[in-house]
Each structure stands twice: as structure tokens, then as C-alpha cells.
Amino acid sequence: MQQTAVPELAHTHTRPIHWLATATALAGVVALSSVLQPDSATAAQTPPGDAKNTHAAAPPDPARADFPLECGPVKAVVVKKASGDLDGDGNPETVAVVHCDAPMGTPPDGVYVLTSGTGTAGPRVIATLVDPDDSITVSDIAVRGGDIRAELLSYSSDDVPRCCPDTKNSAKWQWKNGTFIRSTPAGAQSI
């Protein structure tokens, strides 16, 4: 059997000069890519009167609102909030879950819808969705697609301790014909 001798090729062995040449080339590519940038993107401009072009105002801040809640010597505290355009006017409203900052027990929640005030006036309460007199606690609230969705905890009877709600329901409110209409979301179950 005949063997063929292959001459040793000089470029098959790496040497420090090869690594230096590779590093220099790579540094050049990085430097060049930082200098050559694509042109700035430009978006099509919408006419000034178009509602899609108007910038929505910031959602009402519930910390600045006066809620119709009697708390005696303690303060009303906002425990949850969600914002979104509820009436389709292009401006966000805020849904606030508020209760009295009671030192003990589980104070009932009120759920209020706020709209922005005019001028320097703070946000205004335009609807009460859950009245604190109903002894309900809100475990979750969200605004999705203009709907308000909430998980509500309540008591099945007066015998249930006020610390431990034993009933859970889902609720949904939607703005229709100038008022918020309450319904139960599809697939909602109560316990």
C-alpha cells in the first residue's frame, strides 16, 4: 500500500499573530456597525382632528379624590385601582377600591369610578359600583377592553365572622346607555 506524503501547511497551526488578526477584524466590524446606523423610522402622520392622534390624558389619581365614605376617626385608603377608557371617549377613567383604614377586622370595600376633574379640581366620583354597606371585599379588580371585572368576597349569613368572607363571586360592569350595567362574566363560578 502506498502512502502519500502531505506537506505540512503553515496556515493550519494557530499562532498569536492569527488571534491578533481575528480580534482586530472583529473590532473593526463592531466599530463600523456603530457608525453605520439605519435611517430613522418615520410614521405616517394622522391629521390633528383625528381621535386616534389625540394623546389621552393621564388616568385620574384616586389619591386626590374625595370618596363618599364615612370613616370616622380613621382615613379612607385606596387598596386597589385599575384604569382604562370605560365610556369610549378616548380618555381614561380610574376604578378605585377604597375602605376605611380600620385597625382590626376586614373593613368592607367600596368600588368607585373616577373621571378627571376640570382645571385644578381633583378627580370626581361618577359612579359607585359596590357600596361599603353591602359588606363586600374586593380581592381583584381589572379593566379589560372597556369592561370592569372584579372578584368579590362576601358572607353567606350574619353568622359568618366578619374576618372571613365565605362566598366568592365574579362581577363585570359595562358602560351602556349612560350607566354601568352589572353582569356575571361567562364561566364565572361562585363558591
User: How do the domains of the chain map onto residue ranges?
Assistant: 62-183
Please report the pLDDT score of residue 37 as a whole number: 55
Alpha-carbon distances of 99 from 21, 78, 136, rounded to whole Å: 70, 7, 10
Residues 23-54 pLDDT 10s: 676 666 666 665 565 554 444 444 444 444 44
**Sheet with strand 93-100: strands edge to edge:** 76-84, 93-100, 110-115, 124-130
More reliable by pLDDT, 48 or 87: 87
- Over residues 124-134, the pLDDT tens digits come to 999 999 999 99
Q: Which residues pair with 138 in a beta bridge?
A: 152
Residue 45's pLDDT is: 41
Predicted TM-score of the model (pTM): 0.67
pLDDT at 183: 92
| Cα distances (Å, whole numbers) of residue 20 to 15, 169, 174 | 9, 69, 68
Residue 122: predicted pLDDT: 84
Q: What is d(CA 169, CA 153) in angstroms, rounded to the nearest whole number? A: 7
Q: Is the pLDDT of residue 16 over 90?
A: no
pLDDT > 50? residue 18: yes
Decide: helix, strand or coil at residue 10.
helix
DSSP H/E element including 32? helix 16-35
pLDDT at 144 over 90: yes
Stretch 160-183: mean pLDDT, rounded?
92
Query: How far apart, in whole angstroms, are the C-alpha atoms of residue 92 and residue 84?
Result: 5
CB 136 within 8 A of CB 106: no
| pLDDT number for residue 57 | 80
CA distance 44 to 40: 13
